[in-house]
Amino acid sequence: TGLHTIFGEVTQGIEIVDNIELRDPANPTGPGQLIESVTIIETIVE
């Protein structure tokens, strides 16, 4: 856990992102929300 950095830009559905509950870093094993699906769109910028 904590080994990956995720970055990107939300282009649609920011209201969904805003509703994801924050996790307590002091209690990382506590219950959290289940993310059922993720769509990744790769863009190559030259």
Query: What's the pLDDT score for residue 5?
Result: 67
For 11, residues 6+ apart whose C-beta sits below 8 A from its C-beta are: none
User: Domain residue spans in the chain?
Assistant: 1-46
Query: What's the pLDDT score for residue 35?
Result: 80
Tell me the whole-structure pTM to 2 decimals: 0.43
Query: What's the pLDDT score for residue 2?
Result: 62
Tens-digit pLDDT profile for residues 1-46: 567 667 778 888 889 888 888 877 787 777 777 788 888 888 777 7
